[in-house]
Amino acid sequence: MIDFSILMHDLFGPAEIYCHKTFIYCRYVEYWIVSKKILIVEYDVSFHTLYELILDDTDYRIIHAYDENDALAKVEEENPDLIILDILLDMITGDTFFLFLKNIPKYADIPVIIASNYPRQKYKSLKEIDPTLVILDKTAINETLITEINAKIG
C-alpha cells in the first residue's frame, strides 16, 4: 500500500493540508493541485467561519491569516490567486496592507476584495491605485462574494 501522507508531504509541505475537507488521500492530492487559492485576512474568527460556509461548495482552497504578519507570510508561502482583506488588522489597517502589497511587483497583480463595514467612500482612493479592486459591505457579503470571486479568478 502506498503511504500517501509521505507523497502529500513531499508535494505540499507540512501536515496542515490534512484539515481542509475529508477526501481520500489520492483525491486530496488532485484537489490541492487544481484548486485556486484564496487568502482570507481577517482578525475576527467568526468571519473566517462565515467565509468557509459561503465558499464550502466551491473548489477554492481557503488559506487563513489573522493579522498582517501572518498574511504576509502566507502570501510569500502560498502565492494566493485572490485575497479577501479586512480593514481592521492588528498593527496596521487593511488599506495600508493593500498599498504595501501593491508596491511589491511580484504581488501587485494579486486581485483583492476588501470586506468592510465602513462606508465604501472611505476607500475610493484605493481604486485609483488598483481599478480592479472590489470593496464589499460585510453585511451583504453572502450575496455577492462568490460572484465577485468568480469574476476575478473564475
Show me where the domains of the chain are located.
1-34, 35-153
- Each residue's pLDDT tens digit, 48-105: 999 999 998 888 999 999 998 999 999 999 999 999 999 888 788 888 899 999 999 9
pTM of the model: 0.74
Report the pLDDT averaged over residues 7-32: 46
- DSSP notation for the chain: ---HHHHHHHHH-SGGGGGS----HHHHHHHHHH--EEEEE-S-HHHHHHHHHHHTTSSPEEEEESSHHHHHHHHHHH--SEEEEESB-SSSBHHHHHHHHHTSTTTTTS-EEEEESS-GGGGHHHHHH-TT-EEEEGGGHHHHHHHHHHHHH-
Q: What is the pLDDT of residue 4?
A: 46
More confident residue, 25 or 47: 47
- pLDDT of 40 higher than 60: yes
Q: What superfamily does domain 35-153 belong to in CATH?
A: Response regulator (3.40.50.2300)
Q: What is the pLDDT of residue 119?
A: 67
Q: What is the pLDDT of residue 63?
A: 96
Report the pLDDT averaged over residues 31-60: 86
Q: What is the pLDDT of residue 33?
A: 55
Q: What is the pLDDT of residue 83?
A: 96
